[in-house]
Each structure stands twice: as structure tokens, then as C-alpha cells.
Structure 1
């Protein structure tokens, strides 16, 4: 029923605020907490197809993709409700895409220790930004920078981590995704940038 679904949306956005966004992005924590307390807003989200199309990430990215305000609740609410048809269209057409190139910093020690050269294949690759560990630079703890690239990932280690001394030699790479994005397409890049949470400034822009 719509009433139950509306409550489910409220619970989902409250949980997102408290468990996912609070320690990472205060802006998103505030917006999603306010949405969870707004029956009219929740009813609009509840009318979307259940599951992934009701995701907080998707809604917030759609507003940013369309150029809407997102730093304060009142302007965000007014703009989003006024432009709901456009926001809804983006949410129905797009999907959240996980592009976390910083993960390469945790994978690099293993990749560098394997017999070279390597062949990489990633399932759920989106724009394939994690398929290029050899195209980023890395700094582990306070050590020297490994690699020469416009994007440098800083990584703190614990224990006796086997730190790499050279970048892996990638001879072949491929990605598989149900909704692949093209990092050379301006519209896809804009969508990827819209998915970067406010406060997560360490996530790189697309520079491949």
C-alpha cells in the first residue's frame, strides 16, 4: 500500500542519514534526515518503482545533475518539489554508479606482488575507473609518491603491509557492466561527478 511504502521510504532515508552519511557527508545526512520527516516528499519517492529507483544516492545525484541546490534543506526541498518531473525522469533513466578509484590503493600491493604482466577484468565496472591502477599515483603513510599522475591517493597502513615498490604492468584490461558509462562522454562525466558526495573531496574527478 502507498501508506506503508511511504513509511518504508522514510525509514530508508533516516537509516541512510544515520548510518551512511552522518560520518561522511554532513550535508547529505541533513538532507536525508529532513526528507525522512517530510510526508509529502516521501510520498513522491514512494511513487517511484521500489528498490534501486528509490535510493537516496540516486535522488541526491539527480538533483545535482540538474543543477539544483543541495547545501541547505529549504532551497533543496523547494527546488526539488518544483522540478520533480525532471528529477523523476533522471532517476528513472539513470543508475547509481560505483566508481571508487581510491580502492586501487588497497589492491595495489597484491597486484604488484603477482607475476607480471597482468590481465584485469572487473565485473560491475561502470566507467572502468578501477581498471587503471597503473594510471594513478600513490603515497603510503609518509613515504615517497609511487607513480607520476595528476591523481595521487594517500593511504594509511596498519601492521606489516607489503608495500609496493613499482606499479603493476597491465597488459590487458576489460570491464563488464549492465549500464556502462563512457568517461569521454561529457554527459556521463557530469553524472559521475554528481555522484560524488559533498565532503568527499578526496574522490578524483575523471582525469583518464
Structure 2
């Protein structure tokens, strides 16, 4: 049995999904001890979070053809799912019965969860970061953009408590709810910036005009999390009305070529969340050095996490001077943030 992969599934169960997906938590604990399912899961691409990818492939196939009895345990397929603690035998049966299709998806698909609620962390982070500069146009460059929905962080509405106070674009059809654990950040009520460029780079950018691509985005959301799916649908409709510039490429390796397209009269804002965990430490360090080289030529800000830890961090390069700050501790799905700056 693949002990490394078994440990990865156990780690996924706690704390990843114990409180937010009872089905995935139960399945994960069983998968961790099942050699046959682990062998199939091991066909995933290097660097991918295997539990997320396996669960997405199964849900993608199950929702597309909901005839297997496993559907009775999935909240995406039934209004009253059965007790998840009994689901594994049917889950394994489905995986073995669809082994070839699952392996093909594991080898070709990527975990590209375009978690729109993460913008509830991006919005205060950007508004705070922009206080380091005089007002000016922004050029947004996101690495690992998926469908580019988070490139629209300034086009969404936000609430952070029960007061009903709205931040961001108050006319936006997309409302994102979150909360601050403790004191909120500065800059929430500052004027929204003017954005000249919205460029997203991904190894496989998702085109939301293609139904199967949208189905994959839906499959990446855990079955019980209906609110996440509803937020995704609203943001997709809003994205379809905006011309985003989504590119195929390795944003970490080729950042200079993308940055070179952006005029210096726009402030370059490079950001990425929950992506850098898929590259090596050496690649991450090389990327940070490249950012420093870019900053010798122009002002820029770099907003990110997973380099080296999950905290949301900021690098501000202004007139050749680097300011580093740890901004926030955040929930991976954007449900809360603890402001630290």
C-alpha cells in the first residue's frame, strides 16, 4: 500500500473536511486504508492534491450520469443524502467500475478550485496594500487563475458582520459574506481603484463558455456546500459579461514575460492564493527572486500565501524599497479572516 498517499488522505480528513463535508471525511478515512483505491488515486499528476482531485473526478462522473446507487449519498444528487458512514463500499464499487475514466481524468485534470469567497480576503488585503501608493490605475496579474473569477475582486459586494454594512461594489450582483475574527483591516471604505488590465495565467485556464469546463468547477466543490456552488454560479454569470485576458502558461516560471506587457503607468499587482503549494521550495524561492528583479524596474505589489506558509502575505516594492507584511490568517474557503497587519 502507498503509505505516503495514505497519509495524505488521513491529513485531508482532519482538519480539511471533518466539519465541512461529513461525506468526504468518512470516505477519506476508508480510502486511506484501501490499497485498490489508493493505487488508482496514485495515477494523479505530480504536485496535485490527490484527495481533492480524486473526489472531484468521482463527483464529475457521478453528476453527469446519476444512475449508480452512490448518488444516494451525494447532496449534489439528492435532497436527502444517506448516512455518509455507510458510503464507502458503493464509492469503491463506483471507482472500480469507472476505473479507466477516473484515471484519464486524474492524468489530465487539475485541482483548480476557483473559490470566489477567497475574494473576501483579497478585497481587504488589496485595499490595505494600495494605501502604500498614491492613487493610480492597477494592472492585476493572477497566477493559477482557474476561470479568472478572483480577478474580479473589486467587482463584488462584501459583508463582514451582521450589521448589513456593504463594502466593495455596492451594485454588484455577487454578494460575498465573511467575517473578521477581531479587528477589521484599514481601507475597507476607500475608493475602489480603476483597473486597466486583468490578466490570468494558468496551466489550464478554464473557459466558462464551455459547459464541461463549468461542470469541472462545480465538481471541485464538496457535495454539501450548496452556498459555495451558488456563489460560483453568480460569479460565472458576472464574469461572462467582462472581457478577461486568460492565458495558458506557467506564471511562476514566466512572470517576466507577462509583466513586460503592462505599461509602467499602471501599478503591477501580482497575486496568487492556494497555488504555490503545488511548486517546489526551490521554484518558490526562484520566483521570489524574480519578483525582486522586476521590482528594480518598477513599483509593484505581490499578494500571496503558501510561500512558505498559509498566512496571507504582502510584499510592497515602492521606489526600490521592499516592505514585507504578514496580513492575515485566513480560512481556506474565505469564510473568515484574522487580520494581523
The answer, yes or no, to whether TM exceeds 0.5 is: yes
2:96 to 55, 77, 81: 81
Match of 1:90 in 2: 105
Larger CA deviation: 107-116 vs 56-65:
107-116
C-alpha distance in 2 between matches for 1:54 and 1:170: 33
TM-superposition CA deviations, 1:88-133 (whole Å, max 9, x none): 1111111111312212222223434522432211111121111001
Residue pairs, 1:23-102, within 5 angstroms: 23-46=19-42, 48=43, 51-52=46-47, 55-67=50-62, 69=71, 71=74, 72-102=87-117
* 3-state SS in 2 of match to 1:180: coil
* 3-state SS in 2 of match to 1:132: helix
CA contact (8 A) 1:125 1:180 kept: yes
2:165 to 140, 144, 157: 144
* 3-state SS in 1 of match to 2:203: coil
- 2:155 matches 1:159: no
TM-superposition CA deviations, 1:39-66 (whole Å, max 9, x none): 22223334x2563467011111001111
CA contact (8 A) 1:53 1:92 kept: no
Query: Deviating runs (4+, > 6 A) in structure 1?
Result: none
Q: Can you give the 5+ residue segments of structure 2 that lack an aligned partner in the other structure?
A: 64-70, 75-86, 240-341
Q: Which has a greater percent of helix?
A: 1
**Cα drift, residue 11 of structure 1:** 2.0
**Cα drift, residue 79 of structure 1:** 1.3
Q: Can you give the 5+ residue segments of structure 1 that lack an aligned partner in the other structure?
A: none
CA contact (8 A) 2:142 2:199 kept: yes
**Cα drift, residue 201 of structure 1:** 3.3
2:214 to 183, 189, 196: 189
Change (3 A) 1:32 1:97: same
Change (3 A) 1:98 1:116: farther
CA contact (8 A) 2:44 2:50 kept: no
C-alpha distance in 2 between matches for 1:26 and 1:121: 36
TM-superposition CA deviations, 1:123-165 (whole Å, max 9, x none): 1112111100132211121232332233211121221422523
Aligned residue pairs, count:
203
Larger CA deviation: 100-109 vs 130-139:
100-109
Q: What is the CA RMSD across the aligned residues, in angstroms?
A: 2.2
TM-score using structure 2 length: 0.54
* 3-state SS in 2 of match to 1:66: helix
Change (3 A) 1:81 1:54: farther
**Cα drift, residue 76 of structure 1:** 1.8
Larger RCO of the pair (alpha carbons < 8 Å, separation 6+): 1
Q: Determine which structure has more spread, i.e. the larger CA radius of gyration.
A: 2
